[in-house]
Structure 1
Amino acid sequence: MTDSTETVTVFICGSALRGQPDNQNLQNAEFVGATETAPIYRLHAVKEGWHPGIYEVEADGIAIPGELYVMTAEQYAYLKDNEPPHMYPHEVKLVDGGTAIAFLYPKELIDEHSWPDISSYGGWAAYKAATA
């Protein structure tokens, strides 16, 4: 049984952002505020732009804009269960020196499928707006 007082701080940077189609997957989690990662990640459009894929890099990274949410264990479990295939939870570094859990995507799969690097768009919402 899960402790209902347990919470998880989650960094969202894709289709579950406010105003994006999968925001309901957060199940009214507590919005903490806008933030961005430390500049050590890359952002790709996975499966023809179905969802973002981020991963950590040693060089040429960017700060990915997103939002922080505090989730109950139940909200987090729901989000995790509804993430696209191959996405996995992992701690990310934030620009302010803090950390949060985000859902990353294997770089090997991005490379294998040559999914486009969209890091220059300034985030997932900006990419979706530019390509709508």
Structure 2
Amino acid sequence: MPRMFLNGTAMAGGAEHHLVGGAPLVAATTTAPRYRFHAVGGRYPALEDVGSGGAAVEGEVYELSYAQLREVLLPGEPDGLELGVVELADGSGSLAMVLRRECAGLPQLTDISALASWRAYREAS
């Protein structure tokens, strides 16, 4: 089964967590420190791979079926994000929603890398 790193509203306690269904939580972890973390219009988070000089972003890894990914989780994702692979803190990889490259310069992006947590950003907003 594929593993999916979630770092926004689909995490436990988030408004979209129901999209995860009964999928098991594999780990609460962070990414490797190679990502800029953005709030898109204040509505949802986006990871941008910058290689070096990024932040280790907090999230949760779930084991989802391909059917659940295809039919439930991915259709609920907002524009500006695409399915990609991120590097986790332990060096392993995971599927994740990442910022589309052509969206990296959009004015509605707010860099929240210093917080490195969607929950912390929401609490501070």
**Runs (4+) off by over 4 Å:** none
What residue in structure 2 maps to residue 74 of structure 1?
67
The Cα RMSD (Å) is 1.3
Listed as ranges, the matches of 1:45-124 within 5 Å are 45-46=39-40, 48-77=41-70, 78-124=72-118
SS in structure 1 at match of 2:103 = helix
1:107, distance to aligned residue in structure 2 (A): 4.4
Deviations 1:31-67 (CA, angstroms, capped at 9, x unpaired): 1120111000011110x21100111003320101100
Check conservation: 1:29, 1:75, Cα contact below 8 A.
Answer: no
Change (3 A) 1:115 1:86: closer
Q: What TM-score do you get using the length of structure 2 for normalisation?
A: 0.92
The 1-side partners of 2:99 and 2:116 are apart by 18
SS in 1 for 2:111: coil
CA distance in 2, matches of 1:103, 1:62: 16
The answer to whether the 8 Å contact 1:44/1:116 transfers is yes
Kept in 2: contact 1:38–1:93 (CA 8 A):
yes
Which SS does the other structure have where 1:116 is aligned? Answer: strand
**Structure 1 Cα separation of the partners of residues 108 and 67 of structure 2:** 35
Partner SS for 2:18: helix
Partner of 1:38: 32
| Structure (1 or 2) with the larger CA radius of gyration | 1
For normalisation by structure 1, the TM-score amounts to: 0.88
**8 Å Cα contact 2:35/2:55 also seen in 1:** yes
Count the aligned residue pairs.
124
Q: Which runs of 5+ in 1 are unaligned?
A: 1-6
